[in-house]
Amino acid sequence: MRAERQRMDKKKSLGNVETRYATFAESPHELLLEGGQKLGPITLAYETYGRLDADKSNAVLICHALSGDAHAAGFHPGDEDPGWWDAMIGPGKAFDTDKYFVICSNVIGGCKGSTGPSSINPAAGKPYGLDFPVITIGDMVNAQRYLIDHLGIGRLLCVCGGSMGGMQVLQWVASYPERVRCAIPIATALKHSPQQIAFDEVGRQAVMADPEWREGDYYGHGQPERGLAVARMIGHITYMSDKSMEEKFSRRLKEKDYSFQFKTDFEVEGYLRYRGDNFVKRFDANSYLYITKAMDYFDVAGDSLIPAERRAETRFLVIAFRSDWLYPLYQSQEIVRQLKRRHADATYCEINSTYGHDAFLLEIEEETHLIKHFLDKTYKGYNVR
Amino acid sequence: MRAERQRMDKKKSLGNVETRYATFAESPHELLLEGGQKLGPITLAYETYGRLDADKSNAVLICHALSGDAHAAGFHPGDEDPGWWDAMIGPGKAFDTDKYFVICSNVIGGCKGSTGPSSINPAAGKPYGLDFPVITIGDMVNAQRYLIDHLGIGRLLCVCGGSMGGMQVLQWVASYPERVRCAIPIATALKHSPQQIAFDEVGRQAVMADPEWREGDYYGHGQPERGLAVARMIGHITYMSDKSMEEKFSRRLKEKDYSFQFKTDFEVEGYLRYRGDNFVKRFDANSYLYITKAMDYFDVAGDSLIPAERRAETRFLVIAFRSDWLYPLYQSQEIVRQLKRRHADATYCEINSTYGHDAFLLEIEEETHLIKHFLDKTYKGYNVR
């Protein structure tokens, strides 16, 4: 079933794609961060799929989650797997590249080509480490705005993303409402609850407990792999649901003998270790710290999202998943409540899924159905105007 | 409010109590473990409160959870705080020591006086470390049985416990049904789900990722404190609920400035770090590994609890808490379903609480109401017979 879907995806795939880089080195493009510090020059890694209309009205910005990157769709030459949301982006897909110009950029603070703690600090000639300033979701969005300016786009047809991507969607509306025609925040929140902060904090503590972390100054020595793997394992539990774990692993044993001495015996343990070990090969530990902090600081509740005096012009499609206990339904419902209070045009959709928070990456059919229609309608309305 | 309750508890307190130790050194008391290995001599730390009847019909065994110990009630001379379930055990309390003889013992594998991985291995003249054999909930109960024999008690009026204590309750019924008049499993399960295993496994990984763990051979060098603290922090998140965290911390800041560099800024972070740091002073890291594994291995689903051919003689009171997402309601309901299938006399009570899994330690009033009555009724029925 999944193999078949994969083949289908390949057929409709964008084929080979390429990551590009834009550097904003000039002084106006030195980013003034919400924390008051300046960061620059900054580089953003990004990819684009499809073609920008003559009137530049068909641009869709996709925002990635905690561990994502600019490579949202298509294949990098030689790679087995396509980009992280390939099933949603391509010819005929939810974000139909025959119609739309799709952009995805790696967030600042990240480690996939955009400026982050593992980048060279020009003032010091070595990686920033903890000299990298605190960044916020607002800073990430401000950096993306440079890119959108750079691409010559005034107003985005749509900004869409799940989890931390959804926070960026909300932040775009809060910071640049006139530049967002429609917004699709998925499986996200106006702000983290203490439980969400707590899970992030334990992940950070796991990283910082690893002596290989060296107070963030580990570049050239190798990553704090064990701590980061533990952090990722905690994350994975929260991305799944009790039910999806039951369906995937139940209590099946990998190996069991009574002389085990804490080797892997349940399948779920093997899975978590595998995911943890894999993660450390592709993600920078300091980026993990900075990005999770940005999520914890994020808070557009109250008047921050849409000020009281302003009527929202942006159309909204808010999507949540019933088994998502990391970003529970009530958080998406609260987004909708605040939008309705501002008389925004907001549609709320709950998708039945057992996948938990991961559902935003997996419930392709349902999401396609909702998004394709919503986007087409917004696009047509836009062109009629 | 809580201070007042504390004062009230002091008034009705047992006063000073003492931990005692029983060692089973003789060959029949060498424990044959479920894993096939032999362990001995074994020592059990235990406390008793109240007086054993002449006909020995009023004995209640209290089983502790993961990080508990034999000191369930009363005060150790010089201590500020009483035992871990003092609000439930004492004159006039749920387990009324004016009527009942209450016993609590530290599990084997533990580190509070009973034989565990930090005990001296007589064969090696140094602490067991990872030479300690794998132990199961069944082994813990078999060791407790020696103690009950040693105290000259044939049949226990009641076995009660929450969380891992509840597993021991179920195991007592599975192993020695004729010796348990009534059983009160609280906030527990017939077996761990993959999600529960996953949380335990991440905790173990956090401990084992700490180089101070030294493959379990850290005695004399100091504990793997940082890893164990992370494990405990993960645990604490799962013991609370989204709602109780919201009520206790919301998003209140301890300190916030944009030069924070991963210090504590949200209150919930400070709380978790405090609980983690405190735990490592009082708990052995290897015990954490062995005991969580025992919980993960536990499985009395199906015929294990009560074989098909046997009608259950034990009366049951099964208690669960609505906000407990670590041991969700469906797990307690499954216990009741299996009991009913064997025509057992089983009462199921769901308590409304926002405390999450911690509720079994905090919802004293509700638990007292349910247990006091159930116990008295069983006791009277017993004496009438």
d(CA A292, CA A286): 10
The whole-number pLDDT of residue A257 equals 58
Residues of B with CB below 8 A from A242's CB? 193, 195, 328
CA A340 to chain CA mean position, Å:
25
In this chain, the answer to whether the domains covering B2-191+300-384 and B196-292 adopt an identical fold is no
User: Given a cut of 90, is residue B74 above it in pLDDT?
Assistant: yes
Residues of B with CB below 8 A from A222's CB? none
The C-alpha of A72 sits at a distance from chain B's nearest C-alpha, in angstroms, of: 29
Alpha-helical runs (H) found in chain A = 2-11, 137-150, 164-175, 194-209, 225-239, 242-248, 267-282, 285-297, 329-341, 359-362, 364-384
- Contact in structure between A333 and A297 (CB atoms under 8 Å): no
Beta strand pairing call for B315-321 and B180-186: parallel
Q: Do B260 and A134 touch (CB under 8 A)?
A: yes
Q: Is B247 on the interface with A (CB under 8 A)?
A: no
CA-wise closest residue to A61 among A87, A89, A82, A83: A89
d(CA B233, CA A84): 31
User: Given a cut of 80, is residue B338 above it in pLDDT?
Assistant: yes
What number of CA atoms fall less than 13 Å from residue B291's CA on the CB side?
Answer: 30
d(CA B189, CA B59): 24
Per-residue pLDDT tens over the stretch B285-295: 999 999 999 99
- Per-residue pLDDT band at B247 (split at 50, 70, 90): very high
Nearest to A266 among B267, B289, B296 (CB): B296
Longest dimension (CA), chain A: 72
- Contact in structure between A127 and A118 (CB atoms under 8 Å): yes
Q: Is B329 on the interface with A (CB under 8 A)?
A: no
Radius of gyration of chain B (CA): 21
- Contact in structure between B118 and B219 (CB atoms under 8 Å): yes
Q: Do B266 and A197 touch (CB under 8 A)?
A: yes
d(CA B355, CA B333): 19
Longest dimension (CA), chain B: 72
d(CA B39, CA A54): 80
Contacts of B280 (CB under 8 A, 6+ apart): B223, B225, B228, B229, B232
d(CA A260, CA A200): 31
- Per-residue pLDDT band at B197 (split at 50, 70, 90): very high
Q: Which residues of A23-45 are buried (b: 16+ CB within 10 A; e: fewer)?
A: ebeeeebebebbbeeebbebbbb
Q: Which of A251, A277, A330 to mutate to test the interface with B (most CBs of B within 10 A)?
A: A251
Q: Dig out the tokens for A369 from the structure.
A: 């159905």
Q: Dig out the tokens for A1 from the structure.
A: 């079933």
Size of the A and B interface in Cβ pairs below 8 Å: 158
Q: Dig out the tokens for B176 from the structure.
A: 């020695």
* Among chain A residues, CA nearest to B232: A202
Q: Dig out the tokens for B292 from the structure.
A: 């969580």
Q: Is B273 on the interface with A (CB under 8 A)?
A: yes
Q: Do B251 and A325 touch (CB under 8 A)?
A: no
Q: Is A320 helix (H, G, I), strand (E, B) or coil?
A: strand
The CATH fold of domain B196-292: Rna Polymerase Sigma Factor; Chain: A (1.10.1740)
Beta strand pairing call for B156-162 and B180-186: parallel
Radius of gyration of chain A (CA): 21
Give the active site residues of A. Answer: 163, 324, 357
- Report, as an integer, the average pLDDT of B167-177: 97
The whole-number pLDDT of residue A326 equals 98
The CATH class of the A2-191+298-384 domain is alpha beta
A358 is in an annotated binding site: yes
| ipTM for this prediction | 0.93
Q: Dig out the tokens for A47 from the structure.
A: 């990819």
Instruction: Round the average pLDDT of chain B to a whole number and report it.
Output: 92
The whole-number pLDDT of residue B312 equals 77
CA B97 to chain CA mean position, Å:
20
Q: Do A251 and B226 touch (CB under 8 A)?
A: no
Q: Do A205 and B276 touch (CB under 8 A)?
A: yes
The whole-number pLDDT of residue B262 equals 66
Q: CATH code for B2-191+300-384?
A: 3.40.50.1820
User: Given a cut of 90, is residue B331 above it in pLDDT?
Assistant: yes
Q: Dig out the tokens for B286 from the structure.
A: 């290897």
The whole-number pLDDT of residue A13 equals 86
Nearest to B205 among A34, A133, A233 (CB): A233
For residue A187, CA distances in Å to A46, A166, A257, A361 come to 23, 7, 41, 10
CA-wise closest residue to B364 among B3, B71, B88: B88
User: Given a cut of 50, is residue B216 above it in pLDDT?
Assistant: yes
Asked which of A241-250, B149-158, B375-384 is least confident by mean pLDDT, the reply is B375-384
Q: Is B251 on the interface with A (CB under 8 A)?
A: yes
Q: Is B206 on the interface with A (CB under 8 A)?
A: yes
Beta strand pairing call for B42-49 and B156-162: unpaired
- Contact in structure between B79 and B16 (CB atoms under 8 Å): no
Give the E-state strand segments of chain B in sequence order: 20-24, 31-32, 38-39, 42-49, 59-63, 89-90, 95-96, 101-105, 120-121, 126-127, 156-162, 180-186, 315-321, 345-351
Q: What percent of chain B has pLDDT over 90?
A: 84
User: Given a cut of 80, is residue B12 above it in pLDDT?
Assistant: no
Q: Do B201 and A245 touch (CB under 8 A)?
A: no
A251 is in an annotated binding site: no
Q: Dig out the tokens for A50 from the structure.
A: 């499809």
Q: Do A242 and B193 touch (CB under 8 A)?
A: yes
Contacts of A261 (CB under 8 A, 6+ apart): B130
Interface of A with B in 285-314 (CB under 8 A): 289, 293, 296, 299
d(CA B344, CA B326): 26
Catalytic residue among B96, B139, B296, B324: B324
Name the residue ranges covered by the structural domains of chain B. Answer: 2-191+300-384, 196-292
For residue B89, CA distances in Å to B82, B97, B163 come to 11, 7, 18
* Among chain A residues, CA nearest to B235: A202
User: Given a cut of 50, is residue B1 above it in pLDDT?
Assistant: no
Interface of B with A in 118-137 (CB under 8 A): 130, 133-134
End-to-end alpha-carbon separation of chain B, Å? 43
- Per-residue pLDDT band at B244 (split at 50, 70, 90): very high
Residue B168 burial class via C-beta count within 10 angstroms: exposed 0-12, middle 13-18, buried 19 and up: buried
d(CA B1, CA B364): 14
Q: Is A227 on the interface with B (CB under 8 A)?
A: yes
The whole-number pLDDT of residue A26 equals 64
User: Given a cut of 90, is residue B105 above it in pLDDT?
Assistant: yes
Q: Do B201 and A289 touch (CB under 8 A)?
A: no
Determine if residue B109 is left, alpha or beta; phi over 0 gives left, psi from -120 to 50 gives alpha, anything else beta. left
CA-wise closest residue to B181 among B140, B150, B148: B148
Report which residue type is found at A194.
P
Q: Is A376 helix (H, G, I), strand (E, B) or coil?
A: helix
Residues of A with CB below 8 A from B232's CB? none
Q: Is B266 on the interface with A (CB under 8 A)?
A: yes
Token look-up 């049904």 returns B177
Beta strand pairing call for B101-105 and B42-49: antiparallel
Of all helices (H) and strands (E), which one includes residue B199? helix B194-209
User: Given a cut of 70, is residue B385 above it in pLDDT?
Assistant: no
The C-alpha of A54 sits at a distance from chain B's nearest C-alpha, in angstroms, of: 42
The whole-number pLDDT of residue A254 equals 72
The whole-number pLDDT of residue A28 equals 65
Residues of A with CB below 8 A from B296's CB? 266
CA angle in degrees (0–180, nearest 5) for B242-B246-B248: 115
Residues of chain A with pLDDT under 50: 1, 3-4, 7, 9-11, 384-385
